[in-house]
Amino acid sequence: MLDRDLAELYGVTTAHLKRQVRRNIERFPNDLMFELSAKEFQNWRCQFGTSNFDDKMGLRYKPFAFTEHGTLMLSSVLNSKRAIQVSLQIIRVFVKLREIVSLHKELAYELMRLESKYEKHDRQIHAIFEQIRQFPTFKEKPKKQIGFTAKERRAKYLVKR
């Protein structure tokens, strides 16, 4: 998040927020907070046109960008009631997001486990059918009819006479 957005959340001015960060810069290593580069800052300003003082979207100075943990660290350097309330709310939001991500990871793991289980079953069923196909096939002998046919009867009749 950018410094001006966090200043609005914490109920302080951007200048006050930046001043407090600079006074406590050892609490904000590069993995918690960084300042936009000159090129990033120039691109930002070009997107919104010429910066003027009354326009909230225009920027005069390079903003600070804070990571998740950097936003939490701000609560230790800003001393206002609203800053305390906002930092508690931010912590709750991040905890909830982690729970959601964790739940999705668990579901993904369960799906992978079930998929591998059914792949194993599919391979086993396929192997069973392959074994069945390898059984020798038996041709059934034609069944002998019970009784006489007309030719056999005639032949027997002729022999007896």
Residue 134 located in a structural domain: no
- Domain count of the chain? 1
Domain enclosing residue 42, as ranges: 3-102
Cα 19 to Cα 25, 29, 71, 78, 131: the distances in Å are 10, 16, 15, 10, 78
Residue 69 located in a structural domain: yes
Residue 127 located in a structural domain: no
Residue 40 located in a structural domain: yes
Residue 76 located in a structural domain: yes
pLDDT tens string 15-71 = 999 999 999 999 999 889 988 877 777 766 555 555 444 444 456 678 888 988 888
Flag whether the pTM goes above 0.75.
no
Helices (H), 79-146: 81-133
Cβ atoms 34, 65 nearer than 8 A? yes
Residue 155 located in a structural domain: no
pLDDT tens string 139-158 = 566 677 776 666 655 555 56
